[in-house]
Structure 1
Amino acid sequence: MSDSFAQNSPKIRFTLSFSQPQTHYINVEMHIDGISKENLDVFMPVWAPGSYLVREFSKNVEGVVAKGIQGEELAVNKIRKNGWRIETKGSKSVTLNYQVYAFEISVRTSFVDKNHAFVSPTGVFMYVKESFNNPVTVKVIPHHSWSKISTGLTPVNDKTNEFVAKDFDWLFDSPIEVGNQDVFEFTAAGVKHEVAMVGGGNYDKVRLAKDMTKIVEEATAIFKENPNDRYVFIVHNYKNGGGGLEHLNSTVLGAKRMEYDKEETYAAFLGLVAHEYFHVWNVKRLRPVALGPFDYDNENYTTDLWIAEGFTAYYDNLVTKRAKCISENQYLQLLADDIETQINLPGDKIQSVAESSFDAWIKYYRQNENSSNSMVSYYTKGSLLGLILDLKILDKSKGKHSLDDVMLKAYNQFYKTEQRGFTSDEFKETLESVLGSKLDDFYTDYVYGTKSIDYATLLDKAGLELMINPGNDKPALGVSVNKSNIITKVVRDGSAWLGGLNVNDELIAINGIRVDELSKLVQGYKVGDSLDVLVNRDGVIKTFNMKLLADNSKKVLLVKKGTMSKQEQAIYNKWLRM
């Protein structure tokens, strides 16, 4: 958009209020000045960047009413699922009012109750396409019982509770927390950080500030600079909270309210902090070309989420280890867990990680009972490919270079110098330039293909021994069941899969014995035994005969060698910053 076009386009400001927060509504006033058209179209995004699913936010919009400069009512007509047309009747200014129902707990959706309001911008703010690159202001009127606002938006000087975004991309990337959150601050990498703790909990602010500082500084060390002027963590504490969503200079995290004193849970939370903070560079700035500028009305497809999210998932625990927030043994166990998950996933032979990235919009966020049989996670598989690439570079350079150098080079080239996203081929070339050799086979086998990864060979180069138990001779029916012995998952190529059992079948008896504890009952048989399985399928009693197969799931153990060579030690030390 040219400067002259932007200057002549409508100017927009919003006012948010919460008159009856117990009803879960956000009141939105959108004031539009400088209109020169008879019909003005406004739109609401259908998805939130970082969460690759069309969520149809407009379904929560109610009571859209428009008035002209003299207060006269103007006609508003729906023109598409997320678009409205205002008949301006020549009015140069229009005030649009609407309500957004907000009662979905997640890091990507708005939520309002009597205690607080969380505003996830893509599901609240409408936009005018001609004004997309203009600055936009937001005034927040808290409920009278609330006293604090936490957001990455820039405060407007001398105006209480008013903020400005340089354009709608910034606005859509700036969540707002309004309430009585517990706020503390720390400075890391020369940047002031605000932490807004919502919902209470048994957290230790001093410990959190210390550990979060170390994580921020370790992540910053990889990219040699921190692009933030300030940064805001919004942490929602629930009984079983979790998940996170990255933004340009803020993030929203979910946490378990009363488990900060449990070391495993606390370490996992710090890993989440590291993951979302690593997105400051990887995704929010260094990004696949499809991920910005965004099309907010449609899916934005890329085959490179295994880099955008997968590499971030690789670095989250690595940064946490380098920051000494977890031990060597904890880190190696986390790696072993990921490898074990991946090699036991039937979908690893079905879907490539590039396809998983592309199909995130229809598969990853819409998983069902068969997903583990048919797909991979671009998070887990991508993180393991990050590990393999890191070890390849470390080995070939004899510990002089690593994946850190790839990330820094790509960040400097594509974000800082060329100010654009990268293509798949360009990122591959960047990897090859640091590695010093081609990666055609790697991409064919592991990125676009489903060949099993040879983890052991490269881990051996770093002085680690990977031990994989190749399964056992214990029998397994190959199902997961709930407390009522109703099947919730059938494992591909297992006994039940081949024998014809379905999800939602109720297991009643096996060889005439009532099913109480399924695992104990099955363990009373041997591999190869024939079973008559009695089930209730939609009210009809059926019997299935099947051969009992072995449990082929593998166990993984990753340990340091008792004695490392000089080069293995150098690689290990460079990798983990020992």
Structure 2
Amino acid sequence: MVTTGNAADNTQITYNVSFPEAQAHYADIEMKITGLKQDELELKMPVWTPGSYLVREFARNIEGLSASANGKSLSAKKIRKNIWQLHIAGIGTVVIKYRVYAFEISVRTSFIDASHAFLSSPDMFLYPGNMLHSASTIHIKPYKAWDKVSTSLEKVNGDVFTRYSPNYDILFDSPIEIGNQEIFNFDAYGVHYEVCMQGGGNYDKERLKKDLAKVVAEEVAIYGENPNKHYTFIIHNALKGGGGLEHLSSTTLGASRDAYTTERGYQNFLSLAAHEHFHLWNVKRLRPIALGPFDYDNENYTTNLWIAEGFTAYYQDIIVRRTQLYSPENYLGMLAEDINLLENSEGAKVQTLAESSYDAWIKAYRPNENSGNSTISYYTKGSIVALLLDLEIINDSKGQYSLDDVMRYMYNEYYKTKQRGYTDAEFKAGLEKFAGKNLDDFYAKYINGLTPVDYAYYLGLAGYKLTNELADNNDPALGITTIPNIPRLIVATVTRGSAAWKDGINVNDEIIAIDGEPALEAGKLLSGKKVGDKIKVTIARDGILMDIPVTLLKSTKVKYKVDELPNPTAQQLVVRKKWLTLK
């Protein structure tokens, strides 16, 4: 039986969540706090959700907040964008009522309609200031015929509609799905897994049970334990779905409902599931020191998201490769795609990996038309850096160690033994322990600097090389992209250093003609043109027609593939076998 009091302060907190207007995307919440002894109470709404590094101002969706005690109204004065203050001298019990509008489809925000409710807890539940340690009970009154709840929060007395959280860090890390979703289960390494499928789809649940269990097994093998008793996959299937958000004992995934039966679609889903499940160790427990205890009022800055997310992005594909569910060739193809993504980004020449992590709060989640020229993804470059370190460690230890050993050591040393996060210097020391050498130069080049990645050296350790399939091309390029799926050619981005950049074509310009010929298709704008040609681009800018002379430059786009080197050495084969889990 679960009890719901807090032994430290005898405060009890309950929430009643109902959906009288689910079709209009509202939840009604009644919060009751008993055992209060202070003169003032602050009610707070988080401004961000852990794992998604952007201040999202969740309080903007709250309506009609009111407070009462003993049947009489209390003043609830808003003193900050996300804080309400109540004067409660001599009052032991307070009831707060408010409504939340929820109509943003993502894995990190709440969404409610007549078919289901997805509650991302940080944008749903107010909490009492200075009481993050307090336990709470959530009573759910489902809308109409909804009959299921999927969450990692524990049931109270076996009631599926009543859940318990021991503190607010747990509550804010436990999304709740309510509706008529399909649920199936499997067990892996003594842990019970629930898979919640909302939105339908052409998935084969028996196949998913077996393959997800294989993914779990490979990840548990790295860390030596699964710290959960149970784990919940909440999967939202949509026409076009994607993305995921990690939680302590669950995850929310976005998937395309009709993609499970294609080879690429299924591989992508397994990689996404592997990514978010890997986070239950890396970031939820083994974490940068800045990421916990959380400050829910402000940004929580770290330069180490390239470890928290980038390393996880590396492992998502290498883990599925280890299950033998897809071939080494498939994995190398995915690796080439990541390399192409980084190497075709002008931002790789501007923003360091550490800067990308630190500036996530203002740049990563708010991309604009110039982001490709000025930023990189700590997922992509972090994944590539993890690859370099893995190959280096395997090579230098002659196959005795790998990046797995670093992750296991850091997990045991900091999460289990020291029971805290790691600093930048401590993670670097962990890498050096297994690399067997100082990594100052590596960090100066690839973490804190802008040195191009030496793929020839690192892939060469495993007997591979990169081949640029476009190396012999001499095609001209404007250096623009256009807005897709509209009948007009509207410029969406302009690449730094390109012909369009140099000669002044702007984002939002409409391309009307090239040398007087109507511009009909983006892919055929430069038909018959050569590098060095001087052309006249007719555009419409803010309703004004103008001609812009442009000198065409060579396309700088690369398209790499990973090829084997001829006659690999015995040492290269040792590295290759361990890296790719070759039989």
Which of the five TM-score ranges fits, normalised by the shorter chain? Answer: over 0.9
Residue 471 of structure 1 and its aligned partner are, at CA, apart by 6.1
Deviations 1:55-104 (A, max 9, x none): 00000001111111x21111111111001112325221001111100111
**Runs of 4 or more off by more than 4 Å in structure 1?**
none
Residue number in structure 2 paired with 1:26: 27
Contact 2:149 2:160 in 1 (8 A): no
Of the candidates 498, 502, 521, which is equivalent to residue 498 of structure 1? 502
Residue number in structure 2 paired with 1:516: 520
User: Which moves more between the two structures, 504-513 or 289-298?
Assistant: 504-513
Equivalent AA in structure 1 for residue 100 of structure 2: V
d(CA) in 2 for partners of 1:493 and 1:559? Answer: 30
Residue number in structure 2 paired with 1:310: 310
Residue number in structure 1 paired with 2:52: 51
Deviations 1:215-250 (A, max 9, x none): 010011000110010000000000001100000000
Equivalent AA in structure 2 for residue 36 of structure 1: K
d(CA) in 1 for partners of 2:535 and 2:101? Answer: 52
TM-score by length of 2: 0.96
2:560 paired with 1:559: no
Equivalent AA in structure 2 for residue 321 of structure 1: R
d(CA) in 1 for partners of 2:166 and 2:11? Answer: 14
RMSD of equivalent CA atoms: 1.4
Contact 2:41 2:129 in 1 (8 A): no
Aligned partner of residue 572 in structure 1, secondary structure:
helix
Contact 1:6 1:134 in 2 (8 A): no
Residue 118 of structure 1 and its aligned partner are, at CA, apart by 0.5
2:535 paired with 1:534: no
Equivalent AA in structure 2 for residue 144 of structure 1: K
2:283 paired with 1:283: yes
Equivalent AA in structure 2 for residue 549 of structure 1: L
Deviations 1:455-493 (A, max 9, x none): 121111112122134462111111111341111110110
Contact 2:455 2:465 in 1 (8 A): no
Equivalent AA in structure 2 for residue 511 of structure 1: D
Residue 379 of structure 1 and its aligned partner are, at CA, apart by 0.2
d(CA) in 2 for partners of 1:516 and 1:199? Answer: 38
d(CA) in 1 for partners of 2:445 and 2:560? Answer: 22
d(CA) in 2 for partners of 1:471 and 1:412? Answer: 50
Residue 559 of structure 1 and its aligned partner are, at CA, apart by 2.2
Residue 517 of structure 1 and its aligned partner are, at CA, apart by 2.1
Residue number in structure 1 paired with 2:410: 410
Residue number in structure 1 paired with 2:229: 229
Aligned partner of residue 497 in structure 1, secondary structure:
helix
Aligned partner of residue 365 in structure 1, secondary structure:
coil
Matched ranges for 1:157-176 at <5 A: 157-159=157-159, 161-176=161-176
d(CA) in 2 for partners of 1:518 and 1:183? Answer: 45
Matched ranges for 1:424-435 at <5 A: 424-435=424-435
Equivalent AA in structure 2 for residue 29 of structure 1: E
Residue number in structure 2 paired with 1:478: 479
Residue number in structure 2 paired with 1:243: 243
TM-score by length of 1: 0.97
Contact 1:504 1:537 in 2 (8 A): yes
Contact 2:142 2:178 in 1 (8 A): yes
Contact 1:6 1:130 in 2 (8 A): no
Residue number in structure 2 paired with 1:114: 114
Contact 2:307 2:382 in 1 (8 A): yes
d(CA) in 1 for partners of 2:349 and 2:422? Answer: 28
Residue number in structure 2 paired with 1:546: 550
Residue number in structure 2 paired with 1:103: 103
Figure out how many residues of one structure are paired with residues of the other and give that number. Answer: 574
Equivalent AA in structure 2 for residue 24 of structure 1: H
User: Which moves more between the two structures, 326-335 or 563-572?
Assistant: 563-572
Residue number in structure 1 paired with 2:264: 264
Aligned partner of residue 365 in structure 2, secondary structure:
helix
Equivalent AA in structure 2 for residue 501 of structure 1: I
2:580 paired with 1:576: yes
d(CA) in 2 for partners of 1:270 and 1:169? Answer: 28
Contact 1:241 1:255 in 2 (8 A): yes
Contact 1:472 1:552 in 2 (8 A): no
Unaligned 5+ segments in structure 1 are none
Residue number in structure 1 paired with 2:77: 77
Equivalent AA in structure 1 for residue 144 of structure 2: H
Residue number in structure 2 paired with 1:150: 150
Matched ranges for 1:184-195 at <5 A: 184-195=184-195
Contact 1:132 1:168 in 2 (8 A): yes
Aligned partner of residue 131 in structure 1, secondary structure:
coil
Residue 8 of structure 1 and its aligned partner are, at CA, apart by 2.6
Deviations 1:304-327 (A, max 9, x none): 000000000000000010012221
d(CA) in 2 for partners of 1:513 and 1:523? Answer: 11
User: Which moves more between the two structures, 29-38 or 563-572?
Assistant: 563-572
Matched ranges for 1:284-303 at <5 A: 284-303=284-303
Residue number in structure 1 paired with 2:3: none
Residue number in structure 2 paired with 1:367: 367
Contact 1:474 1:523 in 2 (8 A): no
Unaligned 5+ segments in structure 2 are 1-5
- TM-aligned CA distance change 1:160 to 1:183, over 3 Å: closer
d(CA) in 2 for partners of 1:432 and 1:32? Answer: 50
d(CA) in 1 for partners of 2:523 and 2:461? Answer: 40
Contact 1:102 1:110 in 2 (8 A): yes
Aligned partner of residue 7 in structure 1, secondary structure:
coil
d(CA) in 2 for partners of 1:534 and 1:509? Answer: 5
d(CA) in 2 for partners of 1:160 and 1:354? Answer: 44
- TM-aligned CA distance change 1:354 to 1:34, over 3 Å: same
Equivalent AA in structure 2 for residue 526 of structure 1: K
Contact 1:486 1:505 in 2 (8 A): yes
d(CA) in 1 for partners of 2:318 and 2:95? Answer: 50
User: Which moves more between the two structures, 193-202 or 556-565?
Assistant: 556-565
Contact 1:9 1:130 in 2 (8 A): no
Residue 158 of structure 1 and its aligned partner are, at CA, apart by 4.8
d(CA) in 2 for partners of 1:438 and 1:160? Answer: 53
